[in-house]
C-alpha cells in the first residue's frame, strides 16, 4: 500500500501542474484522485481478502490438528493389542496412519494379507464416525511398512448406520 501512495503522490503533483487550454488542473487532479481512491480501495479489499484467507488457513490447520488428536483418541478404543500405531498425519487431504504389526509370527490361521486387511478395517472404520471432520480428508491410507498399504477413498464407504470401507485391498510397497 505504501508503494501505491508513494507512486501516486508525485504523479498527482506532476499532473496537477500540467494543463491544457481544454482542461484545468483542478479537474485533472480530481480525476487522478478518484483513480487513486479506487486503487487504494482495491488494495484494501485485496488485503482484507488475504487476511481472511490466512485466518481460514489457520482455522483449517487447527481443525486438522484436532482431527488427528481425535483419531488418536479413537485408537484407544478400537485398535487391537498387536496393532501399534506409530504415526498419524494429514497430507494433501490424505489421512496417513503408519502401523507396525510386530507379532505376526503366528499366522497359521490367517495370511499376512488377511491380517493387514482386518487391521485396516479395525483402524480406519472407526474414523468414519468422526463426521465433523469429514471435509478434511478425501482418503485414508493405512501403511504397514514392508507388508504393504491400503488407501481408501470416500467412494469406498458403505453402510448407513455403521459406515465401513468395502473392498479393502493391500498394495505392495
Helices (H), 21-171: 25-78, 112-124
- What angle (nearest 5°) sits at the alpha carbon of residue 23, between those of residues 22 and 29? 170
7-60 pLDDT per residue, tens = 545 545 445 554 455 555 555 555 556 666 676 676 666 666 656 555 444 454
145-157 pLDDT per residue, tens = 999 999 999 999 9
Domain ranges of the chain: 2-56, 79-165
Percent residues over pLDDT 90 in the chain: 45
Query: Does 1 have pLDDT greater than 80?
Result: no
What pLDDT score does 111 carry?
Answer: 86
Pairing, β 139-143 against β 94-100: parallel
Cβ atoms within 10 Å, residue 71: 23
49-104 pLDDT per residue, tens = 656 555 444 454 579 999 999 999 999 888 888 899 999 999 999 999 999 988 77
Amino acid at each position: 500500500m505504501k508503494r501505491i501512495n508513494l507512486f501516486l503522490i508525485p504523479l498527482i503533483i506532476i499532473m496537477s501542474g500540467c494543463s491544457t487550454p481544454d482542461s484545468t488542473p483542478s479537474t485533472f487532479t480530481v480525476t487522478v484522485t478518484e483513480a487513486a481512491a479506487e486503487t487504494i480501495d482495491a488494495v484494501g479489499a485485496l488485503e482484507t481478502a488475504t487476511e481472511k484467507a490466512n485466518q481460514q488457513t489457520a482455522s483449517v490447520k487447527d481443525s486438522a490438528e484436532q482431527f488427528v488428536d481425535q483419531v488418536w483418541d479413537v485408537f484407544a478404543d478400537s485398535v487391537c493389542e498387536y496393532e501399534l500405531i506409530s504415526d498419524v498425519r494429514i497430507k494433501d487431504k490424505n489421512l496417513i496412519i503408519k502401523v507396525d504389526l510386530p507379532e505376526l509370527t503366528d499366522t497359521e490361521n490367517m495370511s499376512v494379507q488377511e491380517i493387514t486387511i482386518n487391521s485396516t478395517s479395525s483402524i480406519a472404520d472407526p474414523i468414519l464416525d468422526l463426521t465433523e471432520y469429514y471435509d478434511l480428508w478425501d482418503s485414508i491410507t493405512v501403511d504397514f511398512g514392508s507388508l504393504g498399504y491400503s488407501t481408501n477413498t470416500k467412494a469406498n464407504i458403505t453402510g448407513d448406520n455403521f459406515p465401513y470401507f468395502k473392498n479393502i485391498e493391500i498394495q505392495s510397497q
